[in-house]
Structure formats: C-alpha cells, structure tokens
Structure 1
Amino acid sequence: MATTNHFGIALRGWRERVSPRDSGLEAGGDRRIPGLRREELAGLAGLSVDYVVRLEQGRARNPSAQVVTALARALRLEPSERDHLFRCAHLAPPSAGNVSRHVPARVHRLVGQLAGNPTAVFAADWTLVSWNPMWSEAIGDPRTYGWGEQNLLAGMFRPDGVRGRAPIAAWPVRSWAGDEVEEEDLVADLRVTAAAHPHDTRLAAFVDRMLRDSPRFARLWSNGTARTHVGDRKTVEHPRVGDLDLDLDVVMAAGTDLRIVTYTAAAGTTDAEKMDTLRAACPEPGRGPAHAMSGPDGPS
C-alpha cells in the first residue's frame, strides 16, 4: 500500500498559492497556475528544479532540516505551516525563541466574544497577560494576587511553602482534583513550554528560581511529566455570592502559544444564577479584555 506523500502535497499546494510579485518576481508570461513555478521556487530556495520535482512527486522523501527551512522561507509560511512541513518530512520543528507575551488583535477580539464569562490570557509560561472585567468579578482583580512576575506558578509555589487554605487568587479557588493534581498538571505544562523555548533565558532563570525556592516544585519538575494543561473543575469561594462550581477550559489561540483560560457554569444551575448576578455588577460587559499587566512583561 502506497504511503501518502504529505510533504509533496503540502509543498505543491503552498507553491501554487504564493504570489510571484510578493516573492519579488515578475508575474507576467504564460502561467497555467497563479502561484510560483517549480523553477521559481527552486531558485528562491537555492535548490535544483529536479529536486523540487522529486519532492513534490514523493520520489525524494528525506529532505534535511536545511532544505525544509529554505523551502518554508521561500514559501513565506506561517510558523504553524512551517512546523507542519517539518513534521511531514519526519523532522522535529525548529525550537521557538522567547515565550511571547504579545496578544494579537484577533485574540483580543476572541476574548471580547467571551465577555460574559471570566476570561484571561496567559503566556505559555503561565504569565498573566490580560483579563476581562468578568474575571475580576469572579476571581478578583489579578493586581491583588501578589504573584511573583505575575506568574500563576509563582503564586502557586510561593517561597514560604504555604499553600493549604491560603488563596492563590484574591480568594480561594479550589481544584476538584486536588492541589497535588493541579500542581502536577501545571508543572507538566511548563515543562512542555521549556522544551519548546530552550533559548529563552528569562524562562530558564524563572525555572531555576522555582527549583531553588520551592521543594514542591522541584519534586514535581524532577518526575519528568510533560503534557499540555487543558482544563479543570473548580470551586470558587466567592465572598459575595458564595461557592461557585465552574468548569475551567484552556484553549490555545491558533498560531500562538497563548493560553485563553475561561470559566463557565452549567446552564440551569444555581451556579449559573450566581454568574448572572456577577454579570449584572460587571462594568461594560460587552467589551474585550479591560486590563493588561504593565511593564516589560505586558502585551505589546
């Protein structure tokens, strides 16, 4: 049974969508396709035309990382597309640079659509970047949390080692799975980020401080578990409306490694009614993220 030529399919599809003019080439002449000819792509990538033909046809199946990098650059691929091309070549995608704290306009718009629910944006290292008014109503103003470097893990693993009933946020937010499971999930997620950003000196220094200051963090870090945190079930001990049982979902914003974190209540429950009470007290509920962390760690 023939193996699907995923690399060749992707390569041809992206070649045919690239505008010659955008690549600095003349768009005139008799063109059967709107995009680049094979010889044009070969010239832009510094490869032979024959090799590009063999890659598209699946007769050459083991391109090097240098070849894939050159093709991705010539095709003007987005990072997610570049990574897909690497995987199609059975290669690991190149490591990313520093963890980004930039929140694109489309992510702001997406969070704006979630204005009725407590929603916040975290960087991949769990630095809090921005949040909407409902987050402040339900979880408290993050500027009162006292997290070192505005980072969730720094708030969870404080140097004094105290967790117990001490709230991480403005008031207690309890995981139904228990503190230990929640901590392990977030440390495992941070490990994924650290592996993806091996050259981020700020992230490396943060991990070093956590290892030095928190034996609990060091123990969990040493077990080697790595997985992306996708959600939880929480009880928020709210000072005005009482306990709220909420689902927490973590969504990766496409094309970024930002974490969009949102709390929701099941419809028709007393928790949903309490959320309605909070929405009524929430200023400007139709707007997007109303607050952002300031300084070098804030969004740009």
Structure 2
Amino acid sequence: MARQELARFLRDRRAGLGPHEVGLTATGAVRRTPGLRREEVAELAHMSVDYYTRLEQARGPRPSVRILDALAQALRLTPAERSHLFRLAGSTPPPGSSAVRRVRPHVARMVERLPETAAIVTDAGYGVVAWNPLAQALFGGGLAVGTTNLARRRFLGQGRMYESSNAEEFGHIVVARLRRAADRYPHDPQLAVLLAELHAGSEEFRQIWQTRPVHAPGHRTKTLDHPEAGMLQLNCDVLLVPEDDQEVVLITADRGSPAARALRSLAGQET
C-alpha cells in the first residue's frame, strides 16, 4: 500500500510540473500529456530512467535518503511535500544542512496580531528572527534579526536580561536546545561560532553542557523583575514550527492580574 501511495504521489507531482518550472526548455514534439516526462525527472534527480519508472510503477526498492532528497529537489517539493515524500517512503526526513534563520510570513503575521501577548520567534540556535512590539517593550530595546541571540544574552550578558525566577532552568533549556541543534546541523558555521563563544566565555555554560540536559518545550511560569513594570507573574508557552526547527515563545499574564494590567500598559493600551 505504501509503495502505491508513493508511486501515485510521484506521478501526480510530475504531472503538475511544466518544463519551464524546473529550468528546462520544452523542445521536440507536442506533449500528449501535461507535466514533465519521466526521463526529465530522472535526469534532474541524477538517476536512471528505469529506476525512476519502477518507483512510479510501485516496483522499485525502498528508496534511500539520498534518492528521496534528489527527488524532492527535482520535483521542486515544498518543505511539507518533502516531509510527506519521506513518510510515504517509510523514512524520517533529515534536517537541512543549516538552521533556518528566516521566519515564514504567516508566522510573523500571527505574532504581530497578539496585542496582549509578548511573542518572539527563535531559530534552532536561539537567534531571534521575529517579535512583536510588546516583546520589544518587555525584553528591552535592541532586538534585531541576525544580532539578538538569547543564548548570548543568558550566558554572555550581551543585551538586556532582567532578573527572572527561572533563570537557572532557562539556562538548562538553552543548552539542551543547542545540543540538539549541534547534532542536527554539524556543518552550520554560524552555530559553530556561537557554541565556541559560549564555551570560551561562560563557565556555567561549559558545566551545563557536560551534563547533557534534556528539556522539552511546554508551559512554564516565571517571575520577571521589569525596571518599569515591577515584578510580573508571567506564563510562558512555546509553539513549534517543526518544518523550520523554530519556536514561537508566547508570554502572557493571567486575566485580570496586576501583571496583565502591566502588559497592557507596556503595549500602550488603556488599563
């Protein structure tokens, strides 16, 4: 059954692509059917026509990760389609070679539409890739894509970090995520520079790194000492963007609480 579904997916995707969409010039006789020819897909994926034909006819062997990646590129699959292709083939899609450091537009729009929630989006190395105005007010100025990194703030003091009741726990959470990132993106140069800086500049980071902490994102509460709003009892929740290995961090306060009124004030709303 899985082979049949994989074969159908390949046929459907091939039929939906025109030569111009993959950089080919349509030449020769008029095409009797829409889409790419099998030999064109095979050429783009650097495999034999016979092998690709057997995959489309559900007769081929289970394709390797290399073959699946080649097919995903040849058929111009989106990240979601690529993951679907791997699942149909009974494989786990490997991450890309580097962490994704851009935010999807729909994620950025969601963050912007949360007026009573401080929201930031971080990449796999804890770089901030998106935020909303309340997050700017809550965490201090200087947030900027490509320069703000929460791991550097936590361990190296780069940027404003307020006193927080979960500072120790957050340190372990940061290290756990960075260890996962190091395993997933061993050839990412920016991540390598970050880890080198943290190891060189923070004894605390080095000690936590050796413990190999394991933490999963979820719901947490913390007390934040804000220089303008005072002590704030806050909720912290994390939503995952798995296709990009990113996290959306949502910080809220209980409805009707002093912290909720403080957040509204920081957001420039009436209390």
| TM-score, normalised via structure 1 length | 0.71
Deviations 1:263-295 (A, max 9, x none): 12233444333322333359xxxxxxxxxxxxx
Name the CA distance, whole Å, in 2 between partners of 1:195 and 1:113. Answer: 34
Name the CA distance, whole Å, in 2 between partners of 1:221 and 1:90. Answer: 34
Name the CA distance, whole Å, in 1 between partners of 2:220 and 2:252. Answer: 11
Q: Are 1:186 and 1:229, in contact at CA under 8 Å, matched by a contact in 2?
A: no
Rate the CA distance shift 1:4–1:68 in 2: closer, same or farther, 3 A.
closer
What secondary structure is seen at the aligned counterpart in 1 of 2:171?
Answer: helix
Q: Are 1:124 and 1:257, in contact at CA under 8 Å, matched by a contact in 2?
A: yes
Name the CA distance, whole Å, in 2 between partners of 1:139 and 1:192. Answer: 25
The one of 164, 168, 183 aligned to 1:195: 183
Rate the CA distance shift 1:155–1:184 in 2: closer, same or farther, 3 A.
same
Name the CA distance, whole Å, in 2 between partners of 1:37 and 1:279. Answer: 56
Rate the CA distance shift 1:209–1:278 in 2: closer, same or farther, 3 A.
closer
- CA shift for structure 1 position 83: 4.4
Give RMSD over aligned pairs: 3.3
Give 1:67's aligned amino acid: I
Rate the CA distance shift 1:267–1:25 in 2: closer, same or farther, 3 A.
farther
- Range moving further from structure 2, 118-127 or 42-51: 42-51
Higher relative contact order (CA 8 A, sep 6+): 1
What secondary structure is seen at the aligned counterpart in 2 of 1:172?
Answer: coil
The reply to whether residue 76 of structure 1 matches residue 76 of structure 2 is: yes
Q: How many residues align?
A: 263
- CA shift for structure 1 position 243: 2.9
Q: Are 2:15 and 2:36, in contact at CA under 8 Å, matched by a contact in 1?
A: yes
Deviations 1:26-80 (A, max 9, x none): 495332xx44344443343343444334324443242233322321121012344
Rate the CA distance shift 1:243–1:12 in 2: closer, same or farther, 3 A.
farther
Give 2:134's aligned amino acid: M
Give 1:117's aligned amino acid: T
Name the CA distance, whole Å, in 1 between partners of 2:74 and 2:170. Answer: 43
Q: 1:1-300, aligned counterparts within 5 Å?
A: 7-23=6-22, 24=24, 26=26, 28-31=30-33, 34-91=34-91, 93-142=93-142, 150-158=148-156, 169-175=160-166, 179-225=167-213, 229-253=217-241, 255-280=243-268
Rate the CA distance shift 1:170–1:3 in 2: closer, same or farther, 3 A.
closer
- CA shift for structure 1 position 25: 5.4
- CA shift for structure 1 position 184: 1.9
Name the CA distance, whole Å, in 1 between partners of 2:219 and 2:183. Answer: 21
- CA shift for structure 1 position 112: 1.9
Name the CA distance, whole Å, in 2 between partners of 1:44 and 1:100. Answer: 25
What secondary structure is seen at the aligned counterpart in 1 of 2:13?
Answer: helix
| TM-score, normalised via structure 2 length | 0.77
What secondary structure is seen at the aligned counterpart in 2 of 1:96?
Answer: coil
Name the CA distance, whole Å, in 1 between partners of 2:95 and 2:261. Answer: 46
For structure 1, the 5+ residue unaligned runs are: 144-148, 160-167, 283-300
What secondary structure is seen at the aligned counterpart in 1 of 2:235?
Answer: strand
Name the CA distance, whole Å, in 1 between partners of 2:68 and 2:6. Answer: 10
What secondary structure is seen at the aligned counterpart in 1 of 2:183?
Answer: helix
Identity, % of aligned positions: 33
- CA shift for structure 1 position 125: 0.6
Q: Are 2:108 and 2:130, in contact at CA under 8 Å, matched by a contact in 1?
A: no
- CA shift for structure 1 position 253: 4.0
Give 1:210's aligned amino acid: L
Q: Which structure dedicates a bigger proportion of its chain to helix?
A: 2
Q: Are 2:99 and 2:244, in contact at CA under 8 Å, matched by a contact in 1?
A: no
Name the CA distance, whole Å, in 2 between partners of 1:235 and 1:57. Answer: 60
Name the CA distance, whole Å, in 1 between partners of 2:216 and 2:25. Answer: 42
What secondary structure is seen at the aligned counterpart in 2 of 1:12?
Answer: helix
Name the CA distance, whole Å, in 2 between partners of 1:186 and 1:231. Answer: 15
